[in-house]
């Protein structure tokens, strides 16, 4: 088969790395890819916003299957366009991707199908929104309704923070069109976890659990990022909890979407709060998490490609996936300054030294090659150093030893990825 992966992050590098190992894969392309992905796939310089360009490339090159990594092209309708062109793909169409693209759509679905989530109210005007938070009090959560690259959420511990977030979104247009509507949510207390299930429209197959670290600083402090590290399995998602998540959250969603005429196909990523009363949905994403995908691919022992194709074909009930019994961890290296302003172009050395054995893989996010063929930093999150180990502590030690061997003075990482899991086990 000829496969095309769409995207340019470490998640897409991990997907390419897994797909390239499939005996079914004869040729692998990635649009647009990055300097690391180029080791697994032929990178084609089509930006992922150029949906027509991607469809034209797939048609001209007789691509058999397209795997869409990020949310933007899903929400924009890439899968719909590929369908119309008769090209098979992995991912939801635009109508089903609304689970990620519109928080109010997801909240409505939760309400109609009794899926546990935070209580909420929807606002477009500033004054009623301010009146509502004053009545509810803090802590309270303010979210821009559309896609805001992970930056549209304020967990306000005080009323003043909540008011400032509403003014920024509804008066000052801080999130552009994504913030012209806001959802104000009840604050949920508990431990967060990421739950992934492949879905073929009717069936759902749970994947291994994972946890990520969204805050930039050690001890989960500082501003939110796209994710500074991840690990799998997630101790808080034991088998009993995973069964509850499937029964109380995932299956009602899959059935509700099908019943309402917008069946979901692809990977459903539930951001969960594990509260005292059980799992509750924070949000849905319509794609793999980044960096959670990196640890899932590291632990996956089965061929990923037939599972992705089964999502498209409605054949997921015949798929079974096997996972490494140990643990995987991914430590993200980012450019100093991220998630604020950062420079580009600094040279990264020592990447080959970092991958001393098969248990370590360095996935590239924002990298490019300069005119001398050196790998340079080309984004905020730049590398995902991923290691397997017999348990979380062993995987962590191996990953941080690999980080030490990377020579990149402009980069930084968190030093405490997986601290919760390690605290629990000691």
DSSP 152-173: SEEEESSHHHHHHHHIIIIIS-
Q: How far is the CB of 31 from ligand AMP (least distance, A)?
A: 26
When binding is defined by CB under 6 A, the residue of 192, 290, 292, 303 that contacts ligand AMP is: 192
CA–CA dist 297, 302 (Å, integer): 10
Residue 155 touches which of ligand AMP, ligand GLY, none (Cβ within 5-8 Å per kind):
ligand AMP
Residue 225 touches which of ligand GLY, ligand AMP, none (Cβ within 5-8 Å per kind):
none
Q: How far is the CB of 225 from ligand GLY (least distance, A)?
A: 9
Q: Which is nearer to ligand GLY, 146 or 227 (CB)?
A: 227
Question: Tokens representing 420?
Answer: 């919760």
Q: How far is the CB of 404 from ligand AMP (least distance, A)?
A: 29
Q: Which is nearer to ligand GLY, 194 or 335 (CB)?
A: 194
Question: What is the pattern of x (binds ligand AMP, CB under 6 A) and - over residues 120-159?
Answer: ---------------------x-x------x--x-x----
Residue 227 touches which of ligand AMP, ligand GLY, none (Cβ within 5-8 Å per kind):
ligand GLY
Q: How far is the CB of 211 from ligand GLY (least distance, A)?
A: 10
Q: How far is CA 270 from the centre of its chain?
A: 10
Q: Which is nearer to ligand GLY, 170 or 330 (CB)?
A: 330
Question: Tokens representing 255?
Answer: 């059935």
Q: How far is CA 120 from the centre of its chain?
A: 24
Closest CA to 351 of 411, 417, 392, 290: 411
Residue 217 near ligand AMP by CB under 6 A: no
When binding is defined by CB under 6 A, the residue of 40, 181, 200, 283 that contacts ligand AMP is: 283
2-7 vs 65-68, strand pairing mode = parallel
Count of CB atoms within 10 A of residue 402's CB? Answer: 24
Distances (CA, A) of 290 to 166, 306, 362, 374, 381: 28, 22, 14, 25, 10
Residue 188 near ligand AMP by CB under 6 A: yes
Q: Which is nearer to ligand GLY, 34 or 376 (CB)?
A: 34
Residue 181 touches which of ligand GLY, ligand AMP, none (Cβ within 5-8 Å per kind):
none
Q: How far is the CB of 289 from ligand GLY (least distance, A)?
A: 4
CA–CA dist 3, 143 (Å, integer): 36
Contact window for ligand AMP (CB under 6 A) among 180-188, 225-233, 318-326, 407-415? 180-188
Q: Which residues contact 209 (CB under 8 A, 6 or more apart)?
A: 193, 194, 195, 196, 232, 233, 234, 236, 237, 242
CB 299 within 8 A of CB 207: no
- E-strand ranges in 233-277 read 265-275
CA–CA dist 81, 17 (Å, integer): 26
| Interface residue list for ligand GLY (CB under 6 A) | 150, 212, 227, 285, 289-290, 292
Q: How far is the CB of 186 from ligand AMP (least distance, A)?
A: 6
Residue 205 touches which of ligand GLY, ligand AMP, none (Cβ within 5-8 Å per kind):
none
Q: Which residues contact 31 (CB under 8 A, 6 or more apart)?
A: 4, 5, 6, 43, 44, 45, 46, 47, 48, 53, 54, 57
Residue 290 touches which of ligand AMP, ligand GLY, none (Cβ within 5-8 Å per kind):
ligand GLY
Q: How far is the CB of 120 from ligand AMP (least distance, A)?
A: 8
Q: Which is nearer to ligand GLY, 227 or 266 (CB)?
A: 227
When binding is defined by CB under 6 A, the residue of 77, 222, 271, 278 that contacts ligand AMP is: 271
Question: What letters, b where the CB count within 10 A reaches 16 and e where it falls short, cover 273-304?
Answer: bbeeeebbbbbbbbbbbbbbbbbbbbbbeebb
Q: How far is the CB of 193 from ligand GLY (least distance, A)?
A: 11
CA–CA dist 365, 399 (Å, integer): 17
Binding site for ligand AMP (CB under 6 A): 118, 141, 143, 150, 153, 155, 185-188, 192, 214, 224, 271, 282-283
């Amino acid at each position: 088969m000829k496969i095309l992966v769409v995207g340019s992050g470490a998640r897409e590098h991990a997907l390419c790395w897994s797909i390239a190992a499939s005996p079914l894969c004869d040729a692998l392309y990635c649009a647009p890819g990055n300097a690391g992905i180029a080791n697994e796939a032929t990178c084609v310089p089509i930006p992922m916003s150029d949906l027509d360009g991607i469809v034209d490339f797939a048609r001209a090159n007789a691509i058999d299957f397209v795997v869409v990594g990020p949310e933007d092209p899903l929400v924009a309708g890439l899968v719909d366009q590929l369908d119309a062109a008769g090209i098979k793909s992995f991912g939801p169409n635009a109508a089903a991707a609304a689970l990620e693209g519109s928080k109010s759509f997801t909240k409505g679905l939760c309400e109609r199908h009794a899926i546990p989530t935070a209580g909420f109210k929807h606002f477009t005007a500033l004054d009623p929104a301010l009146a509502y938070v004053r009545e509810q009090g803090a802590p309270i959560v303010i979210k821009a309704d559309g896609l805001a690259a992970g930056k549209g959420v304020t967990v306000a511990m005080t009323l003043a923070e909540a008011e400032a977030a509403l003014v920024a979104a509804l008066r000052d247009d801080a999130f552009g069109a994504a913030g012209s509507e806001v959802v104000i949510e009840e604050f949920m207390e508990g431990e967060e976890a990421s739950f992934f299930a492949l879905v073929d429209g009717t069936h759902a197959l749970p994947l291994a659990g994972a946890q990520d670290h969204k805050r930039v600083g050690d001890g989960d402090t500082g501003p939110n990022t796209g994710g500074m590290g991840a690990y799998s399995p997630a101790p808080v998602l034991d088998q009993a909890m995973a069964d509850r998540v499937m029964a109380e959250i995932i299956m009602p969603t899959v059935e509700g979407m099908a019943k309402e005429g917008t069946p979901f196909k692809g990977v459903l990523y539930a951001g969960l709060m594990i509260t005292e009363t059980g799992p509750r949905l924070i949000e849905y994403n319509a794609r793999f998490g980044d960096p959670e995908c990196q640890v899932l691919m590291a632990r996956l022992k089965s061929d990923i490609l037939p599972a992705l194709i089964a999502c498209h074909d409605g054949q997921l009930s015949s798929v079974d996936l096997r996972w490494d019994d140990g643990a995987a961890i991914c430590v993200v290296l980012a450019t100093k300054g991220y998630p604020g302003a950062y420079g580009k172009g600094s040279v990264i050395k020592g990447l080959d030294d970092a991958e001393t054995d098969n248990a370590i893989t360095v996935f590239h996010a924002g990298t490019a090659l300069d005119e001398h063929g050196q790998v340079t930093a080309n984004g905020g999150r730049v590398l995902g150093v991923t290691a397997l180990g017999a348990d979380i502590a062993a995987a962590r030690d191996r990953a941080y030893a690999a980080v030490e061997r990377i020579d990149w003075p402009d980069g930084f990482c968190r030093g405490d990825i997986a601290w919760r899991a390690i605290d629990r086990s000691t």
